[in-house]
């Protein structure tokens, strides 16, 4: 298929583009600059939001995979609300000109405070502007897809584990600190349990999800099981051979961080089985 990936130059975009190429798709990678995108993709440097007919402009793709989003790690940035109309109009234009499948990147932060396993029926009560922005885009995108009879996929991401020092996750920050030669890393109590998914697995799951049309709606991209933050971080330090120690209790847990939360893996397991059999 011909798949348009927006935000392709971002931390997630770079890996997802590679995974899509490996599955044999033609990838049109769009971003303000595409310097870090695999050269086997068709790279397009542009401002997505200033294109009149994006469907034609990007060569009439079969699938839109919308990853573009600003300030994803700054949970209360005004950008989450200010950019919302731009994302909405871009997706609406794509739908009106003939795209047949729209997938977009969501976040478990749409849910807000919750304990237990999350599936597509779990109610959303977001507690940050990031969660509110993503949740609103999800609802609007689903509505647009229904109106135009388009396949709708919302890829709800969980906690990604990767050793790039350029990300904003706890794992990226530990990597950066280790590279700087620091011996201690200030940390919470680490008792909260989350759904951790390795970067490569995450990218492969996203690529597999958009490569099929049988499993749709909200699809959790994650491991499908909870693991204690302290255990996962200690394991990450060991896996990468860092000689840095966690300083437990230096930070308080955020009030909106759940004690234990993870995504149901039922849908993504079905998708991964299909892709492996194909």
Which is more confident, 237 or 164?
237
In a domain, 254, yes or no: no
Residues assigned a catalytic role: 130
| List of residues 6+ apart from 47 with CB closer than 8 A | 32
Please tell me whether the overall predicted TM-score, pTM, comes out greater than 0.75 for this model.
yes
Portion of the chain with pLDDT greater than 90, in percent:
89
pLDDT tops 70 at residue 244: yes
Residue 256 near residue 113 (C-beta atoms within 8 A): yes
Backbone φ and ψ of 262, nearest 5°:
-155, 160
What b/e sequence results for 165-186 when a residue is b if at least 16 CB atoms lie within 10 Å of its CB, and e otherwise?
eebebbbbebbebbeeeeeebe
**Mean pLDDT of the region 15-36:** 98
My answer on whether 91 and 168 are in the same domain is no
Backbone φ and ψ of 229, nearest 5°:
-55, -45
In a domain, 7, yes or no: yes
Backbone φ and ψ of 136, nearest 5°:
-65, -40
My answer on whether 118 and 148 are in the same domain is yes
Portion of the chain with pLDDT greater than 70, in percent:
99
- Residues facing 28 on adjacent strands: 4, 42
- As given in the structure block, the two tokens for residue 14 are 């770079």
For residue 39, name the pLDDT band (cuts at 50, 70, 90): very high
pLDDT tops 70 at residue 16: yes
Residue 262 near residue 224 (C-beta atoms within 8 A): yes
Burial group, residue 223, by CB count within 10 angstroms (0-12, 13-18, 19+):
buried
In a domain, 256, yes or no: no
The per-residue pLDDT for 278 is 65
For residue 129, name the pLDDT band (cuts at 50, 70, 90): very high
In the DSSP assignment, the letter for residue 167 is: S
Encode pLDDT of 46-104 as tens digits.
Answer: 999 999 999 999 999 999 999 999 998 889 999 999 999 999 999 999 999 999 999 99
Count of the separate structural domains present in the chain = 2
Encode pLDDT of 220-242 as tens digits.
Answer: 999 999 999 999 999 999 999 99
pLDDT tops 80 at residue 36: yes
Pairing of strands 193-194, 227-228: antiparallel
Domain span at residue 98? 2-158+197-222+263-277
My answer on whether 57 and 150 are in the same domain is yes
My answer on whether 37 and 136 are in the same domain is yes
Encode pLDDT of 166-219 as tens digits.
Answer: 667 889 899 999 999 999 999 999 999 999 999 999 999 999 999 999 999 999
My answer on whether 272 and 210 are in the same domain is yes
For residue 257, name the pLDDT band (cuts at 50, 70, 90): confident
Three-class SS of residue 143?
helix
| List of residues 6+ apart from 217 with CB closer than 8 A | 120, 152, 153, 154
């Amino acid at each position: 298929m011909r798949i348009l990936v927006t935000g392709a130059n971002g931390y997630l975009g770079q890996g997802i583009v590679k995974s899509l190429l490996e599955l044999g798709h033609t990838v049109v990678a769009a971003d303000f600059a595409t310097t870090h995108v695999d050269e086997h993709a068709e790279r397009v440097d542009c401002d997505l939001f200033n294109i009149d007919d994006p469907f034609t402009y990007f060569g009439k793709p079969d699938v839109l995979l919308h990853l573009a989003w600003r300030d994803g790690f700054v949970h209360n940035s005004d950008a989450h609300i200010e950019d919302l109309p731009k994302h909405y109009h871009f997706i609406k234009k794509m739908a009106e000109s003939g795209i047949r499948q729209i997938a977009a990147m969501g976040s478990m932060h749409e849910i807000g405070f919750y304990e237990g396993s999350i599936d597509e029926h779990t109610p959303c009560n977001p507690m940050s502007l990031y969660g509110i922005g993503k949740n609103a885009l999800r609802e609007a995108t689903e509505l647009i897809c229904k109106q135009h009879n388009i396949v709708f996929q919302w890829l709800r991401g969980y906690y990604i584990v990767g050793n790039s020092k350029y990300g904003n996750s706890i794992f990226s920050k530990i990597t950066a600190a280790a590279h700087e030669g620091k011996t201690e890393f200030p940390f919470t109590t680490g008792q909260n349990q989350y759904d951790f998914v390795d970067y490569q697995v995450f990218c492969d799951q996203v690529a597999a999800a958009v490569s099929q049309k049988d499993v749709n709606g909200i699809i959790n991209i994650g491991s499908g099981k909870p693991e204690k933050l302290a255990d996962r971080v200690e394991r990450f330090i060991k896996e990468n051979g860092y000689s840095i120690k966690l300083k437990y209790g230096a930070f308080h847990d955020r009030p909106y961080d759940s004690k234990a939360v993870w995504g149901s893996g039922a849908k993504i397991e079905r998708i991964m089985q299909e892709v492996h059999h194909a």
